[in-house]
Chain A
Amino acid sequence: MNKLILNFQKRTNSVTIFVYLLGIILIALLFNNPIISLINLIALIFMAILVNREKIKTYFKFSCVIFIVTFAFNLILNQRGEDVLWKFYSFQLTQESLLNGFILGISFVNLLWAFYIYNALIRVKTVFELLSSLLKNVALIFILTIQFIPRIIQIYNETKSIRKFRIQNEVQQSKLKSTMDLMEIILNKAVASFMNVSDTLILRGFNNHQKSIGKLEYRGADFLLSILMVSGLVVDIVMVIGKVGVINLGSIDVQLIFTNSELILLLINMILILLPVIFGGVNYLWWKFYISKITASNTTTVKKYR
């Protein structure tokens, strides 16, 4: 994780992080103007690289596949439009369907990247602190799911590679049957692992807790960031109601509009998405300034002019 993002994560509490994550998911969901969506996508990918570089290549490939599939499906399903670019029997490719497909693909991919950031920044502690006082069961399901999914993936990979040493080549099975069998085995194994997590929760006293838990400490930065995020989102919602940044998706007369309002919206969204980097950057500069004030340098030049 980039040091600026790490700074954001360390200096803010669970609520602030959650508001930020909710914000970027909303931004990815609300707007479908292709220019805004495209710029949002760039900002989201930039943030994704900063929050977790390890899985970026795989996720990038995955999001490309999703984009292509969404785009292609939309071309097949939605052939409306007047500017026909290509015709093959009953299939026609129009400028509008191309644009619709592109918008839908980008919107979908934006949402995926927002969730990538969510996944990298969210911590069990965050959800637990937010939910356990009010929705204990939801928190429990969330904790178990968070533990469960990576474990299922791990079990799947291990089982798949070890299975080869037990099954003989000559045993012919249909691919579907073989996959179904594998899934059954994996679920059996996952349930055993799941029970261990549930035992741990009992040992940690989760089933007994009576009092309100997860008391949060608010600092100035939390108030500032939360206010900024909420205000930005309110502006976003007002703009959406006013049809700014939103186009008539799926219609025949889908048009590209970009006015000053869209530009302002674009800037607000960019700032909101990049808020952790901006916050970390400002903190970093302040830290450098602070250090220069309190540290006496011993370089020759400084000594000479001291």
Chain B
Amino acid sequence: MLADLAVGKVLSGELVTDLSLNNNNFAYVSQFVDNQMVMETPRDELKFVLDNQGCSQNEIQLRITEIASYLGIIDLLDINEKRLSGGQKQLVNLASALILKPKVLLLDEPTSQLDPIAAEKLLQVVHKINEELNVTVLLVEHEIDRAIRYANRLLVMEEGSLIEDAPVDKGLRDIYQNPHLKNYLTQVDRLILELNLPTDQQLPLSNKEVGLLINQHRTSLKSVPRKILVDTTAENILEIKRLNFRFDFNGPQIINNVSFELKRGQSYCVIGPNGMGKTTLLKTMTQQLKPQSGKILFAGHKVQNDFYQKVFVLPQNPAILFMEDTVAEEIKYQLQLSRRDTTFEAVLEKFSLKGLEKTSPYDLSGGQQEFLALALGFIKNPQILFLDEPTKGLDPNKKLELGQMLNQFQKTGGTVFVNSHDLLFAARFFDQIAMMFDGKISQFTTPTVFFKDKFFYTTEINKALRETFPLALSWEDIKRSES
């Protein structure tokens, strides 16, 4: 079954298993949340899977009842697929995979398109399946923060080779020794390992354990929060005044009387769960959607046609931006349009696209597509860079590179506006953060001010150390006192 999904051939080696390789033993859930449902409702989808196995009506009824009760999706069974959230769709996909009672569950970045809360819920369900049903779970991820707590074994792949296969504690300690993989560690584990604090506990550590450990050594530690210079005198590049938007006449107010300004040379990040209007806000600000009321001023003037030349939008799905057949053609096309003095080779180098010149942009991985789209944006050199969930599909190293590139862009006078549910990314790389919920946006404030009084919606380091170092947001914010 899975072999049918892969393009290419196995050159050598073989799969050794006592199980026969079919849908009844192996189930697979992919990262593409939206393309995994064929039917209109979860009930039809589950029935479709069982129908294909030739199950009787009685068996179909029993199995759907069983799986829907177990995963808590009874209420979703008759809801149209279009009305399901990403998290709910992924639960249905999981149900479709589990309904054939597999022995092995293969998950390919199942949470990459979900917000933190939905991702956490999904992983808890996967953990329950693993613990209660004794189903073997193999989860492929580029970000191990959440999943590592539930894992027994850690395997690391690099350039096609398996470079680590060990129990989680050993695996995490090993990857700390590898400079290229250090960033994959959870923030709290990284903090303890960086500070070299003695502990008998096995990795990964919980926030509570780290909080206690830091408290024991607080006298030898100090908090060094990131310094942010907010230039209040900078010119307003974009002004949003009493913006309102809804999709239907009597529908919910997706953007509800929102007002704020973006200043030249500053970076802004809007955080919040999925479905709260972040993308709609970005689309309205960039004239992709027409607001019902409100005013948008670009550099003090009403938005005109040249607006599209002066800003760049990187949508949630970067593939929407691509227009050519190969990576090289995409870059050359943008270089030609933007008449920049940057060379083609320099772009390839900077955005880690070397060796991919002849590849179709659609065949790139999620992270590579994101970087190609970003390269097109930087080549254009706009006044404002709008990015919608740019960290989706990026590994921790790539996130770091992205953050550094955005900071570099800011230094040249560019303004950055980003939607993200990645709290750590927001805390580390942005000057101003606001939260969007139910169409309303909070006031933009610096990350330390924004996160210091948050209880649930904050970074893991802040949760763990709020009693001792309330301004610390990432592992880099705590250092050893020099005395």
A interface vs B, CB < 8 Å? 54, 123-125, 128, 132, 143, 147, 155, 158-159, 161-169, 171, 181, 185, 188-189, 192-193, 196-197, 199-215, 217
Contacts and interface: CB of A to CB of B under 8 A. Distances in A.
A249 B282 CA distance: 54
Interface of B: 1, 4-5, 22-23, 28, 30, 32, 35-40, 44-45, 47-49, 51-54, 56-57, 96-97, 100, 248, 283, 286, 288, 305-306, 308-309, 311-313, 315, 317, 319-323, 325, 334, 337-338, 362, 376, 380
A205 B1 CA distance: 8
Nearest to A196: B35
A200 B49 contact: no
Contacts of B309: 168-169
24 contacts: A125-B44, A128-B39, A147-B38, A162-B288, A162-B320, A165-B286, A165-B312, A166-B334, A167-B337, A168-B309, A169-B305, A196-B30, A196-B36, A199-B30, A200-B36, A200-B37, A202-B5, A203-B30, A203-B97, A205-B1, A205-B100, A208-B22, A208-B52, A215-B56
Nearest to A211: B54
7 tightest Cβ-Cβ pairs between the two chains A and B: A211-B54, A196-B35, A205-B52, A209-B52, A213-B51, A192-B362, A125-B44
Nearest to B325: A188
A214 B40 contact: no
A166 B362 contact: no
A166 B323 contact: yes
Contact of A215 (B39, B45, B57, B248): B57
Given A123-B40, A125-B40, A203-B28, A210 B54 contact: yes
A53 to B, nearest CB: 10
A147 B48 CA distance: 15
Nearest to A165: B313
Contacts of B315: 158, 162
Given A209-B52, A209-B54, A201 B319 contact: no
Contact of B57 (A189, A205, A210, A217): A217
Nearest to A210: B54
A185 B35 contact: no
Given A166-B337, A168-B337, A201-B38, A196 B32 contact: yes
A212 B52 CA distance: 9
B50 to A, nearest CB: 9
A257 B200 CA distance: 96
A214 B1 CA distance: 22
A263 to B, nearest CB: 39
A160 to B, nearest CB: 10
A208 B52 CA distance: 7
A123 B286 CA distance: 36
Contacts of B28: 203
Nearest to B60: A215
B320 A165 contact: no
B305 A206 contact: no
Contacts of A171: 337
Contacts of B40: 123-125
Nearest to A144: B38
A165 B309 CA distance: 6
Contact of A213 (B52, B308, B322): B52
Contacts of B35: 193, 196-197, 199-200
A293 to B, nearest CB: 27
Given A162-B321, A163-B323, A169-B306, A189 B54 contact: no
Given A124-B44, A169-B306, A200-B35, 17 more contacts: A54-B248, A123-B39, A125-B40, A125-B44, A162-B320, A166-B323, A166-B337, A181-B323, A189-B319, A192-B362, A199-B30, A200-B37, A200-B38, A203-B23, A205-B1, A213-B51, A214-B51
Contact of B39 (A125, A185, A192): A125
B288 A192 contact: no
Nearest to B311: A165
B96 A204 contact: yes
Contacts of B334: 166
A159 B320 contact: yes
A128 B248 CA distance: 32
B284 to A, nearest CB: 12
B51 A143 contact: no
A125 B47 contact: yes
B237 to A, nearest CB: 16
A163 B39 CA distance: 31
Contacts of A169: 305-306, 308-309
Nearest to A194: B35
Q: Which of A125, A167, A168, A202 has the most CB of B within 10 A?
A: A125
Nearest to A200: B36
A169 to B, nearest CB: 6
Given A168-B337, A197-B35, A123 B57 contact: no
A165 B288 CA distance: 10
Contacts of A123: 39-40, 44
Q: Which of B44, B52, B100, B308 has the most CB of A within 10 A?
A: B52
Nearest to A161: B288
A207 B48 CA distance: 12
Nearest to B316: A158
A201 B51 CA distance: 13
B4 A202 contact: yes
Contacts of A196: 30, 32, 35-36
A211 to B, nearest CB: 3
Contacts of A188: 322, 325, 362
A187 to B, nearest CB: 12
Contacts of A202: 1, 4-5
